[in-house]
Structure 1
């Protein structure tokens, strides 16, 4: 390698912004593509997998990279926007090389790959992988094992040419831990089924639940089917009840009932209640866990509930004031207090004096067009669902309305944009991304 050429560890590149020469954003780095070579010769780095603002993943050859510095990648501005498809001879560096168990050539000791570094070849625009950062003993980035770590030349280790045996998911998870659930869902969707299953198994229940809610239906069913039934039930409990109900509705009756039996009775009861409604009605769309307060609660109490970081922005936009009991189905629904109103009144003010009770709540049997019209007419982000007896059953949020207004396969379409539409915006890289 040329003296003075900066060495970059690939974990630092994950999520790095990519810009054209004018400083306009192109996308973000999601992985690197390398080609392994015979013997112990260091792999050649072919390019980057870049995720555009449309979530399409495209290939950016390293020959089109003019600089990697200060947390950004600069390109020549010439980009082929055809969707990236991995070839059999290619390896995804973040997705396939990290966490692999390999051996030190000199001692034969088994080690775990935590990172690899890349460096530009001298007098050329090509890049290569030159060094490997490993940990002795067992355990990846999230394990408690604290074996000795060391950086060695690529030629000092062997085992990268093997299949994915023994490859964990810890370092890959560390690489993507800052991603929003929708973005991590996109990552999982593009992994191999084996790797997707490994990563899903390594996520905690809450994180996996959030990601499942953002995945296409086929991916949801595949991942849930590979979990042990007790774990699957735990994940379903961590999902929003309406999303859990939608997912369970796609399973065979025997599997659905078995998972419901394994869930906590109160969680299963909410899901069963939702499954009793037609899917495209307010009852089928609603969540059973809105913010419910009694009329003698104060503004300070309401704001404390709104601050809950686990709430979606739509659910946190308003609180619902009801007579006891406080869990849905509640006692008599009295009205709604919007977040902006809470900010305008003193903390000691009782929410019962701030009610917006002019709007009629949605009935559980209200059809999707009726729900959409309600949201559009009154500029709402969430709406209460109340039954004939006046009890609050739940709330419909705008994100659930959008989910059901879009085509059934919209998540799949989001991950795989139409090829013909993309080719219409192509800027001329050529068809062979590896050349």
Structure 2
């Protein structure tokens, strides 16, 4: 096996054993091959000009040397510019890779080659500390083999343009929890993070966006552009969407609002009317509400039709024809009730605690703790149901960077 660190800077000798230059880079073809062959090397000649040597003209790859079959002038051609050529020094070495198995971002410190069917092929990427020592010429310091190579097989690597390499495809990425994907994006640079976010479907991207640090949220949204950003943001929960819009500069938030669908815009404006430190500013308008005369069967059907826009449905809120809050029915009670029973029959006679839209969030949190509530209805001065606050909303308010 031969490492890239053994090839970079290696002397290039022609058939007369004369030094004609040094290896500057190695090139493979962008194919689906598990172990793509090296199709040539870029050589920096004695005049410091870069020339390309085809693999067919190379007699031998060795540790710190490379020999040619003929004279240098007979082998050297201009460096090709084909799009399907991968220049390993520029595109792979020192680049970051998203290692989905370990849910981490790692750096390519070295590359490992091997002879397969008479061709020098790229086999693995070394992401360990030993690869870095080898690059620095300090591999001899690894006494007693304390450090072992950490290798990723090339066949598991995918390229997104020339900026980001994924150890698995996007289909595997979306299987991760959004918080894990967010952690990965936070370790990448802006271009890579934006590239990764855009590679996800809009629903997954929205959930990941919700998990990012506020400052990174703002930067990524601004980099996406108003149309693409709005497409992702409309999939966010309303309360998270409002928080993000409030962080953006006025011009950018206006552009986003213009590209959001009318129902999202209406909900956002409704919450923006309230101070962000009040119940009205923290509430979400995404909840299930029905009339007292609605049957269990009708409620279940409504939930089936709208479940995609709700992260979790545990409580059904009961309102009258004027929108006034009447009570709640838990999902548990719905499940064990008969289909023809109405919400009026299932509601508890006991008055449920509620919050007012102007109430301080600390007071709301105390109220939810006192009565052991997972969510609480937020009412206006006219007792109409404006929204709900969940325990998750309260936790995110007090521990925003968890």
Q: TM-score, normalised by structure 1?
A: 0.58
Distance change >3 Å, CA 130–CA 372, structure 1 → 2: closer
CA distance in 2, matches of 1:235, 1:266: 15
* 2:326 matches 1:334: yes
Offset of 1:323 from its aligned partner?
2.5
How many pairs does the alignment contain?
A: 289
Q: Which has the larger radius of gyration?
A: 2
CA distance in 2, matches of 1:168, 1:358: 57
Offset of 1:259 from its aligned partner?
1.6
- 1:376 corresponds in structure 2 to 369
Partner of 2:286, secondary structure, is coil
Partner of 2:154, secondary structure, is strand
Q: TM-score, normalised by structure 2?
A: 0.63
* 2:343 matches 1:351: yes
- 2:126 corresponds in structure 1 to 45
Distance change >3 Å, CA 44–CA 170, structure 1 → 2: closer
Per mean C-alpha deviation after superposition, the further-off stretch among 212-221 and 258-267 is: 258-267
CA contact (8 A) 1:43 1:128 kept: no
CA contact (8 A) 1:14 1:176 kept: no
Matches for 1:97-176 after TM superposition, within 5 Å: 126-127=148-149, 129=151, 132-133=154-155, 165=162, 167=164, 171-176=168-173
CA distance in 1, matches of 2:337, 2:198: 46
5+ residue gaps in structure 1? Answer: 2-7, 17-27, 48-60, 64-85, 91-122, 142-163, 325-329, 415-435
CA distance in 1, matches of 2:268, 2:197: 23
Offset of 1:256 from its aligned partner?
1.4
Offset of 1:130 from its aligned partner?
8.1
CA distance in 1, matches of 2:147, 2:261: 58
Distance change >3 Å, CA 373–CA 306, structure 1 → 2: farther
Distance change >3 Å, CA 140–CA 291, structure 1 → 2: farther
RMSD: 3.6
Distance change >3 Å, CA 359–CA 34, structure 1 → 2: same
Which among 218, 239, 242 is matched to residue 221 of structure 1? Answer: 218
Partner of 1:238, secondary structure, is coil
CA distance in 2, matches of 1:193, 1:204: 19
- 1:312 corresponds in structure 2 to 311
5+ residue gaps in structure 2? Answer: 2-33, 36-97, 114-119, 137-144
Q: Highest relative contact order (Cα 8 Å, sep 6+), 1 or 2?
A: 1
Matches for 1:285-434 after TM superposition, within 5 Å: 285-306=282-303, 308=307, 310-313=309-312, 316-324=313-321, 331-356=323-348, 358-406=351-399, 410-411=400-401, 414=402
Offset of 1:269 from its aligned partner?
1.4
